[in-house]
């Protein structure tokens, strides 16, 4: 029997598989002190300032935290003066501060699973966290030179974090967040995306791959089909969060063998307060049946972690995929621990 690690490699290489890779079964996420420090004292249901000075909020019953960029909180009100406002969080930490991460990683069976640091937010998200989405989009047009300079500074930070993480835990995968679109379109045109973000990620992902990382998993739960050629150039192996509206069957037909797609089961449809097992099973089976490929496709919810907003949804979908792999009905262990929304960042 294949290990989860072997299964995902067979999936992305187009090798024979008897069953689907099941959601995040192949990877264990690690949470390093630099990322935690930059995120700040995360408070579910509360507000706080992150390591970049951004006012953050994390309401109940939402998938994740987001910035408050009201005028009184915005960090960068004029991107041409960003050097006066943007200050890199620290990237070096003591052995004592690294100890919990190292203990977490040492407990993982690397023969069974990939070990991946969780890096978030990404370059585009950092930009609009600092200045607000509207000004961010305008600045790409009106102040490209300043935006390039700021992006270079953010890349410098990411590379410093990468070095520290690699030196301490030697990961063989990377799980990196950066949402690049809405449900209907990418935020940037492919041409503008390639001008500003492609070079940044070629440096970032190129560094990780040059230092022992075999698998780059990038999260963007959005429309991004028009950006897939750029994702391939960046070195992304798995686009995690690929929503069904991206036409996954066509993506596999066009790009299979160059990149793989994890998702298809949109959280907006299944991860709800009124969810039922009947509906979630039907939606999961529908997506898997319509995509109909064990290669280059990992059926999963599109949320950027192994969990769900409403407890039980993620675990039940795992049970449904297990049943599909067995060719039988769903068998639910009523005593299993329900996966809660991720709380690794909560202090």
**Structural domains of the chain in order of their starting residue, each with its CATH number:** 4-326 (3.20.20.210)
Give the pLDDT score at 345.
44
Distance (Å, rounded) from C-alpha 306 to C-alpha 341? 8
Number of Cβ within a 10 Å radius of residue 346: 11
Our CA dihedral for 59, 62, 66, 69, rounded to 10 degrees, sits at -60
Number of Cβ within a 10 Å radius of residue 243: 22
CA of residue 232 relative to chain centroid, distance: 16
Tokens 């290990």 found at: 3
DSSP string, 76-118: -S-GGGHHHH--PPP----HHHHHHHHHHHHTS-TTTSEEEEE
Give the pLDDT score at 1.
87
Distance (Å, rounded) from C-alpha 5 to C-alpha 27? 8
> How is residue 231 written in tokens?
């994702």
> In angstroms, how far is the first alpha carbon of the chain from the final one?
39
Give the pLDDT score at 64.
86
φ, ψ of residue 140 in degrees (nearest 5): -60, -35
**What global pTM score does this model have?**
0.95
> How is residue 181 written in tokens?
């679109």
Q: 322: which DSSP letter? A: H
> What is the block-wise mean pLDDT of the chain (347 residues), using blocks of 10 residues?
97 97 98 96 91 94 89 97 98 98 98 98 98 98 98 98 98 98 96 98 98 98 98 98 98 98 97 96 97 98 96 97 89 58 43
Q: 296: which DSSP letter? A: S
> How is residue 115 written in tokens?
């070990």
Question: What are the C-alpha distances in Å from 95 to residues 25, 158, 164, 168?
Answer: 30, 20, 11, 9
Count, residues in the chain: 347
Of 260, 178, 190, 281, the closest CA to residue 221 belongs to 178
Distance (Å, rounded) from C-alpha 63 to C-alpha 179? 13
Q: 72: which DSSP letter? A: T
Of 263, 270, 260, 272, the closest CA to residue 243 belongs to 263
Our CA dihedral for 208, 35, 21, 239, rounded to 10 degrees, sits at -60
Say how many CA atoms lie within 13 Å of 18 toward its Cβ: 5
Residues 6 or more apart whose Cβ sits within 8 Å of residue 335: none
């Amino acid at each position: 029997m294949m290990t989860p690690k072997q299964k995902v490699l067979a999936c992305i290489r187009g090798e024979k598989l008897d069953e689907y890779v099941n959601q995040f079964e192949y990877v264990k996420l690690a949470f390093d002190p630099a990322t935690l420090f930059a995120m700040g004292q995360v408070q579910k249901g509360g507000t706080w300032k992150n390591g970049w000075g951004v006012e953050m909020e994390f309401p109940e019953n939402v998938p994740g935290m987001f910035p408050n960029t009201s005028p009184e909180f915005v960090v960068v009100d004029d991107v041409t003066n960003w050097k006066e406002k943007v200050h890199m969080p620290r990237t070096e930490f003591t052995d004592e501060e690294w100890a919990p991460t190292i203990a977490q990683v040492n407990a993982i069976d690397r023969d069974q699973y990939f070990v991946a640091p969780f890096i978030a937010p990404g370059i585009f998200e950092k930009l609009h966290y600092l200045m607000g989405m509207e000004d961010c989009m305008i600045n790409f047009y009106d102040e490209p030179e300043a935006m390039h300079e700021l992006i270079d500074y953010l890349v410098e930070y990411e590379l410093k974090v990468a070095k520290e993480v690699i030196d301490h835990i030697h990961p063989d995968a990377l799980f990196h967040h950066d949402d690049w679109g809405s449900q209907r379109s990418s935020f940037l045109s492919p041409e503008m995306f390639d001008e500003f973000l492609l070079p940044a990620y070629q440096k970032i992902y190129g560094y990780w791959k040059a230092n022992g990382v075999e698998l780059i998993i990038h999260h963007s739960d959005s429309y991004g089909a028009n950006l897939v050629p750029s994702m391939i150039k960046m070195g992304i192996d798995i686009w995690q969060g690929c929503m069904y509206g991206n036409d996954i069957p066509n993506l596999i037909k066009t790009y299979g063998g160059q990149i793989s797609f994890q998702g298809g089961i949109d959280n907006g449809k299944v991860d709800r307060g009124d969810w039922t097992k009947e509906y979630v099973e039907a939606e999961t089976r529908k997506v898997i049946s319509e995509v109909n490929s064990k290669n280059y496709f990992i059926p999963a919810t599109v949320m950027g972690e192994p969990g769900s907003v409403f407890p039980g949804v993620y675990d039940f979908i795992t049970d449904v995929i297990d049943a599909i792999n067995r060719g039988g009905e769903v068998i639910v262990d009523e005593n299993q621990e329900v996966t809660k929304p991720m709380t690794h960042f909560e202090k």
